[in-house]
Amino acid sequence: MNCFSQRLWRTSPIQGSSSKNELVSSKPARMNGWSWPPQIFQVIGWLMFCYLAIVSFGIYIPLLPLPWNYVLYSLTGITFTVHFLTHIAAVTIDPADASVRAKQSYSRPMPLFDRTKQQHVIQDLHCYLCDVKVGPKVKHCGVCNKCVEDFDHHCKWLNTCVGGRNYWYFFVALSSATLGVLLLVVVLLFVSIQHYLDPNSLRTAPQYGLLGNGTWLVFLPLTPIKTSSSGLLILAFITVMLSITCLLLLCHLLGFHFYLFYKGISTFDYVKMQRQKETRRRDIEPGNANPVKNNKKVRQKQESSIDCEPALSQSSSSCKVDSNEALSSRLSGSICTEMENFKKSAARENSFHYGTENPKENTPREMSLSEIKSWKPDADEEAQWPSIKSVDAVPGVQDPLGSSVMTPDDS
């Protein structure tokens, strides 16, 4: 991956300017989930909790036959009570870092965290907005406008941050809510099925003694209110749809946090990893050059070198070039061509017969450096060297180390 294509984030104030002066001075920090204004999701959550509690304890659990109504009263009552208490605790506890809680009065205005002007406000364990020293797992929340200890995420349903001080209250509230809604769905399905199969099994309360089969009572046993059979079923259908929707959301969130437990990371760590994956995915999109493939091609081009073996011997003497890659320069090609011609000339001279020598016993003689210097090609060989003529200075001999080219003048 090309490191020059990555954006660099500034994590400390620009030299000569203050981080606080760059941010808009506006609202004070939020203390907890009860701080004004409330979130719309927070209001929806409380309304849903109240609705499900009234419907379950006031309408459908009293219709269950003995002893199942007492069992469901106990189980549902425990789960709803645990959820209510832990929800209150998670909303009320201030998740801020200890240094922020010791210094912050939550009354004076603080600079608003503006991501368009500065990405990070914590540098070297110092927050430039809260102006305090913080721990290594602290993050400054832009919504709450304060540093949160062991930051996990900002929860809109609680209207506060979830950190190290209130995470377990949040997790227990989430688990109890999931279990409570699951029990309610089971009760609603049982009542709906029994209403068609055996409605008399649901009319075990003594208040049904003088009533007809088409009349049902809700809010038993304290304040019985008459209703119709169709009204009871329509309300059950609406409640089942809402409960299943809540159950899907809660199970998804609970399963996600179990996954985080398994990985040993927080929600914030997971979000950072996903952003890094998204950045890498954008880098390899079709619009951008593939850095992995391009790097391989560059390395192949760099590693593909001309393997010249100018050893003038009887067995072999050749110039090998990588067949998959073109020559890196015309000068290198001319060197290899000249070496091949040296071989041809040596072979031709070895074929001559001298007066006192036996042609059959003739062996190739080695060429000295002086002979190589004085050697000149004939007209036929010059015609085969168009690439050498285009070069101003033709090298004579390649340096044995392969790092430079020697000319006749250099020797």
**Whole-number pLDDT of residue 335:** 62
pLDDT per residue, tens digit, the chain (411 aa), is: 444 444 433 344 444 444 444 444 456 788 889 988 889 999 999 999 999 999 999 999 999 988 898 999 999 999 999 999 999 999 999 999 888 888 767 777 776 656 676 666 787 788 878 888 888 888 888 888 888 999 999 999 999 999 999 999 999 999 999 999 999 999 999 999 998 898 888 888 888 877 777 788 888 888 888 888 888 999 999 999 999 999 999 999 999 999 999 999 999 999 999 999 888 888 887 655 555 455 444 445 444 433 433 333 333 334 344 444 443 445 455 566 666 766 666 666 555 444 444 444 444 444 544 555 555 555 555 555 544 444 444 444 544 444 444 444 444
Structural contact between residues 406 and 398, judged by C-beta atoms closer than 8 angstroms: yes
User: What does the block give as tokens for 266?
Assistant: 């927080």
| Axis-axis angle for helices 167-197, 229-263 (nearest 10) | 150
CB atoms near residue 273 (< 10 Å):
12
Closest CA to 207 of 199, 198, 215, 195: 215
Residue 270 buriedness (CB in 10 A; 0-12 / 13-18 / 19+): middle
Residues 6+ apart with CB under 8 A from 272: none
- What's the N-to-C CA distance of the chain in angstroms? 46
Q: What amino acid is encoded at 207 in this protein? A: Q
Closest CA to 59 of 242, 216, 190: 216
User: Secondary structure of the chain: what % helix, strand, coil (to 5)?
Assistant: 50, 10, 40
For residue 244, the cross-strand partners are none
Which letter does DSSP use for residue 403 in this model?
S
**Whole-number pLDDT of residue 403:** 44
**Whole-number pLDDT of residue 118:** 62
CB atoms near residue 93 (< 10 Å):
18
Structural contact between residues 10 and 118, judged by C-beta atoms closer than 8 angstroms: yes
CB atoms near residue 132 (< 10 Å):
21
**Whole-number pLDDT of residue 356:** 41
Say how far residue 97 (Cα) sits from the centre of its chain: 26
Whole-angstrom distance, CA of residue 60 vs CA of residue 220: 9
Structural contact between residues 342 and 367, judged by C-beta atoms closer than 8 angstroms: yes
Whole-angstrom distance, CA of residue 157 vs CA of residue 46: 9
Closest CA to 326 of 292, 300, 308, 293: 300
Rounded to a whole number of angstroms, the CA Rg of the chain reads: 42
Verify whether residue 155 is a known catalytic residue: yes
Say how far residue 301 (Cα) sits from the centre of its chain: 33
Backbone region of residue 328 per phi and psi (left: phi > 0; alpha: psi in -120 to 50; beta: other values): alpha
**Whole-number pLDDT of residue 203:** 85
pTM confidence score: 0.61
Q: Which of 147, 155, 246, 319 is catalytic?
A: 155
User: What does the block give as tokens for 249?
Assistant: 């959301």
- Residue-wise DSSP of 384-399: T-HHHHTSSS--SEE-
